[in-house]
Amino acid sequence: MHFFAYRQEMTTSPWSRDSMPPLPGTSGLPGTADTLDLISLGRRVRHLRKGRGMTLDDLGRKVGTVGSQLSLIENGKREPKLGMLQGLAAALGVSIDELLGAEPPTRRAALEIELERAQRGPLYGSLGLPRVRISSRLPMEVLESLVGLQAELERRLNEQVATPEEARRANAELRAIMRRKNNYFPEIEAEAQQVLDAVGYSGGPMSEHLIADIAVHLGFTLHHVSDLPHSTRSVTDLKNSRIYLTQSRHSDHDPRSVLLQALGHYVLEHRPPENYGEFLRQRVATNYFAAALLLPEKPAVEYLRRAKAAKEIAVEDIRDTFAVSYETAAHRFTNLATEHLDILTHFQKTHKSGIIYKAYENDGVTFPQDHTGAIEGQPSCRRWTSRVVFDVQDKFRAYNQYTDTPSGTYWCTARTERGPNGEFSLSVGVPYAQVKWFRGRDTDIREKSFCPDEACCRRPPSSLAAEWAGNAWPSARAHSHLLAAMPPGVFPGVDETEVYSFLAAHSH
């Protein structure tokens, strides 16, 4: 996790809010293109009417209605019919498009619109406060203060309501975006290639020396310290163009990836995330950027095409060729497999307890899901490769298995790795029709899964249930993080006071 003193100017990136595809469930909501914003329309009519020196009754006579009816329209309390809109546009001397324009005509009008929306919203209503009458006599500074207070209140409440359910929903939305794009993002690939060209990368594994050159090229100096805030893996000081990293060589993360992810926030011009979903998108984007530098697209694709032609694709070979972790190699394979090799695939990172921590698919495999569509936090089928691999004695070689599922037969390859939170399996799989390109396809190990049918592996066998049902009382290991709200703050889990104090101490 990284903490940034971000640039204040409004910028966009391949993974910024403005350029992301619309998330599911937003069509038709107030403020979107397919609804009429009555408050904004009313303020525009009032602005145009007053600009032409007309009273409500004057305008009413021109459009064939009374002033009291126009007052309801101007206050956003009545939706005018199409004929009325056409009459208003003609009487005010503007086109329909101008009358329905998205931009408020003045700063004051924009503030009035924001305040009116806020006062009609559920948050303001829950406070039990009297409504403020919005008129031309309301001072500008009062408008500014009221709108600012509302925005700050919403921001603070949003920080507090980042629940595990919200996190799971954000994960599901992000995974849907990744599936639509086949987990391939050409904008980030292009940014990574520009950086590689600038430092003269000529091939082979990415050395720490070359990565340090990338930092210098981007204008940063590197500082290894022993007192890095415990809630961070790196801290970037944009004021003084410094990146702080830990001195320890015993980190659970590749120091090259940590530095490249920190640089990724800068290159991709990220702004402080406004919600947990945006925080996740930025984190995935920086991980992608780092992988695109550690396994550059052109040499990685050339290598994979040769392996495909030889029918010898193997994740462990990708790992060894580019000197990265197995997890990084597996992730990068999912970035490039569909776009460049026409191979559909899926990926899982599963804890030894059976809980899925990360997952991606575009090959139709049926992952377990909760009501939000989230896969993370769900138990993987006991018969899948991602679970069976934990019981395999040979940990040196990859474990390969065919699994018959309700959605088809899949071949998967998996390995286990130990991390700070225990042992995990990392598995990559493809549909049966595409296994011919992979080493390990000759395995004779085959399992059958009926999940999500509970009779598959979640319900105890009848013989065990008959003997022990009602006679067992296990004391469950409490996973308190599943009940707690997500850590508050712009960057969840980061102690801002600790980070700012660290920067102050190191800035001289």
Q: Assess contact for 38 and 299: CB atoms under 8 A.
A: no
pLDDT category at 414 given cuts 50, 70, 90 is very high
Q: Is the pLDDT of residue 178 over 90?
A: yes
342: left (phi over 0), alpha (psi -120 to 50) or beta: left
Between 219 and 464, the more confident residue is 219
HSE-up (13 A, CA, CB side) for residue 149: 11
Model confidence at 499, in pLDDT bands (50, 70, 90)?
A: confident
Report whether pLDDT(392) > 70: yes
DSSP state of 432: G
Grade residue 12 by pLDDT with cuts at 50, 70 and 90.
very low
Average pLDDT value over all residues in the chain: 84
310 φ/ψ angles, rounded to the nearest 5 degrees: -85, 0
Distance CA 506, CA 427 (A): 42
pLDDT digits (tens, 9 = 90+) for 464-486: 888 888 888 777 555 544 444 45
Amino acid 463: pLDDT = 86
Residue 254: closest CA among 328, 318, 315? 328
Summarize pLDDT for 438-447 with one digit per residue, the tens. 999 999 999 9
At residue 488, the pLDDT reads: 56
* Whole-number pLDDT of residue 426: 96
User: From CA 144, how far away is CA 219, in angstroms rounded?
Assistant: 38
pLDDT digits (tens, 9 = 90+) for 28-73: 323 333 456 788 888 888 888 988 999 999 999 999 999 888 988 9
What totals of helices (H) and strands (E) does the chain contain, helices first? 19, 10
Closest-CA residue to 173 (of 11, 26, 365) = 26
Query: How high is the pLDDT of residue 249?
Result: 58
Higher pLDDT, residue 22 or 314: 314
Domains of the chain (ranges; CATH) run 1-29+163-290 (no CATH), 30-160 (1.10.260.40), 295-467 (3.30.450.20)
